[in-house]
Amino acid sequence: MPKQRSKRSDVREEKKRKRRDHNEDSAKRPRVETEEEANGAYDNDNGFIPIGDDVPMGNAEPMEKEFFGMLDDEEQEYFRRADEMLELNQFPTTEDRALFLESVFREAEGKELKLASSQSCSRLMERLIQLSTTKQKKHLFQAFADHFLSLVQHRFASHCCEALFLRSAGAVTQELAGFIVDTKGASDGENDGPEQSMENLFLATLDELEGSLSHLITDRFASHTLRVLLLVLSGRPLNDAAAKTLLKSKKKEKISVAGSAAADEENQGMRAVPGSFVSAIQKIIQDSTAGLDATSLRVLATHPIGNPTLQLLLDLDLTLSKSSSKESKDKQDKDKEDSSQPTLLYQLLPGAPKTLADESSEASTFINAMIYDQIGSRLIETLITHAPGKIFKSLKDNIFLPRIHGYVRNDTSCYSAIRVLNRLSKEDLLSAMEKIEPSVPQLVTKERYNVVKTLFERCSVRGLNDNIKKLMKGLREGCGSEPADLVTTLCCLKEQEKKKDAEQLRRNEYAIQSHGAQILTTLLGIPGPSKGVQESLLALSPETLLKLATASMPTVTILTTALSLPSPNPAFHKRIASTLLPSTPELAVSQFGHNYLNAIIEVPSKGRERSIPFHMKEAIMGKLAENEPQLRDCWMGRSVWRTWKGDTWKTRLGDWKAWMREVDALAETSAPKPGVRDGQKPNGVKPSLTEAKSRPGKVRS
């Protein structure tokens, strides 16, 4: 007998019916931006997000989100067309575009908050900020004033705030140096009062955020904006790889517009900032962690959103402490003794360095818990890198050195161990090597290539040649007995041969391949191991060598580095070039392989330790000329054609040969020598794109 329908089932059926009716009704109506979307409470992937879903840290509570209103249909259409015109950039002259920008700014006056919080028009606001003058940026600061706390927590407006802070950083430095900034782009009523400096506008923004910083650290959107603000205040570079990784999430949409490159140049390198910014950073650090007890700090250290911001706060706290004067250091020492206002370092490690010797202490428990946590270990890396000497010595002696051989084998703690190895003295490195060397084959089997690379680099820097030989022996044991196994194992070419295309490698496998290729590139710069790598390259079949040249940027860097360094084998460079000679057309149109062909030009035609004969270069040029149409169809081929001066070879062969002799003479006089110095790549080696990331894929997935 069928069960009687329950009351709960009736409620579910009623909800389903209402959803069906709503979907049928909404399908008949054109889509209009809703109030929730305008407020940033709608996620394209996850549906509606309840306001206040982030758990505040400390005593701060999230504010209610403001609603700034919505643009009407005519305004949305105007700004949509303006966005399209800026993206297409089909203006006859730069003056025409400047006039167009001024008209858009006039139309947007009074509607800045609506634009920034609009799902459809916030991209236009970001592009306007990228192209705006200093005067227009100051106008936007004033338009956003008294609303920054809501804007930085907004799904769309937070990106506009980030762009405004980043693009205004250069203006602070210019005003500090006494340069007269541009005054174009101001509206008629803007010059009534005295113009505020960019420094004061930033400080006024901080005043608005004061009191809510501990909540903003874990806010889904505001945390990114807070990191941008901290980097701007600190004067650090904003365009290097480390800063971009810290500031942007992987899913962040890149909004760009033609003509904004000049503003990017202002953010290159370190920037001078006023003293008030340094004081502001110290106050931010204190306010952000003032209401956090030990338990809250540990929760924040493992929080996926709060951890990157906590890393930056700890980095700035330690860096500012090191760069302060002696008087300020004495004052900080007194403050550290006063438990009422401890610095962030001593909040994380209470009583350090003395308490680190006690395994049951709060500081030791924190380190031991975080080092194996996928998120928290990143904070430990920052701590190890920037910790004062006394703190690092205690960490090294009591926690890391006794168990270093276990840390390097783990896929999470190995990154903290690498940071420790980079700071060890020669004596401590010897002690660590005695424990790690027996497990080198196991490290290769576990694919801890980044650890092996660090061991080779540090032993080379410290002059531990005997340990380098032992490392090389363990590396060969882990890779295989055949000479070719050294390259095929580290670069994952054995597994790659089973696949149809190198692009089918998963992200984790690409990271392993990248780490292995970096080991080989490092070994090429160390006398002794470089001979083994060169023998392994010569033992590869032509098909495998071609895969090495076309698989990825790190793998082709092995070949370009090998070509740039001398070899004890006089035939090494010739044999590599002759093996790949039949594949010249394929290499020329390859995204990565074309770098190998361009590197051959820099190898002299005569020489005992490094040379490729002139007749072989002529043969390569002949292969390129036979496939000129294919080369001109892609940017890689055109790059090779320009580097080899293909047009000169076709029309003026004598001039081409004379040019080649000049290149040979220059290559002979500037021949690099192998060797790795502390903190530098081997001479002639360019850092790969993957090396700019602190932790590429595999190991931390």
The tens digit of pLDDT for each residue in 356-391 reads 999 999 999 999 999 999 999 999 999 999 999 999
DSSP state letter for 289 = H
Reported confidence tier of residue 594, pLDDT bands at 50, 70, 90? very high
Reported confidence tier of residue 665, pLDDT bands at 50, 70, 90? confident
d(CA 355, CA 353): 6
CB under 8 Å to 185, separation ≥6 — which residues?
A: 101, 102, 105, 132, 133, 135, 136, 139
pLDDT at 639: 94
Q: Give 205 or 87, the one with higher predicted confidence.
A: 205
Q: Give 543 or 211, the one with higher predicted confidence.
A: 543
CA dihedral 111, 117, 121, 126 (to 10 degrees): 90
CA 276, 280, 283, 285 dihedral sign is: negative
Is the pLDDT reported for residue 75 higher than 70? yes
Mean pLDDT over residues 538-542, rounded?
94
CA 95, 96, 97, 103 dihedral sign is: positive
Q: Which two tokens stand for residue 590?
A: 């390859």
Q: What global pTM score does this model have?
A: 0.79
pLDDT at 383: 94
pLDDT at 696: 40
pLDDT at 553: 94
Is the pLDDT reported for residue 698 higher than 60? no
Mean pLDDT over residues 226-241, rounded?
87
Give the pLDDT confidence of 79-137 residue by residue, as tens digits.
Answer: 999 988 888 888 888 888 889 999 999 999 999 999 999 988 999 999 999 888 899 99
Give the pLDDT confidence of 476-491 residue by residue, as tens digits.
Answer: 999 988 999 999 999 9
Lookup result for tokens 């910790």:
387
- How remote is the C-alpha of 88 from its chain's centroid? 28
d(CA 202, CA 208): 10
pLDDT at 493: 86
Q: Is the peptide bond before 554 cis (omega within 30 degrees of 0)?
A: no
Per the prediction, the chain carries an average pLDDT of 81
d(CA 97, CA 598): 39
Q: Which two tokens stand for residue 195?
A: 């113009």
d(CA 316, CA 231): 9
Q: Give 296 or 58, the one with higher predicted confidence.
A: 296
pLDDT at 33: 40
Q: Which of 151-160, 285-294, 434-443 has the lowest mean pLDDT?
A: 285-294
Reported confidence tier of residue 290, pLDDT bands at 50, 70, 90? confident
pLDDT at 289: 81
pLDDT at 669: 74
pLDDT at 591: 94
pLDDT at 335: 47
d(CA 365, CA 367): 6
Is the pLDDT reported for residue 328 higher than 60? no
Q: Which of 45-54, 172-181, 544-553 has the lowest mean pLDDT?
A: 45-54
Q: Which of 219-228, 245-254, 302-311, 501-510 has the lowest mean pLDDT?
A: 501-510
pLDDT at 214: 86
pLDDT at 323: 65
pLDDT at 141: 95
pLDDT at 51: 32
Q: How far is CA 93 from CA 96, 259, 260, 369, 559, in A?
A: 5, 12, 15, 60, 45
Q: Give 502 or 133, the one with higher predicted confidence.
A: 133
pLDDT at 10: 55
Q: Using an 8 Å Cβ cutoff, are 523 and 565 in contact?
A: no
Give the pLDDT confidence of 630-654 residue by residue, as tens digits.
Answer: 999 999 999 999 999 999 999 999 9
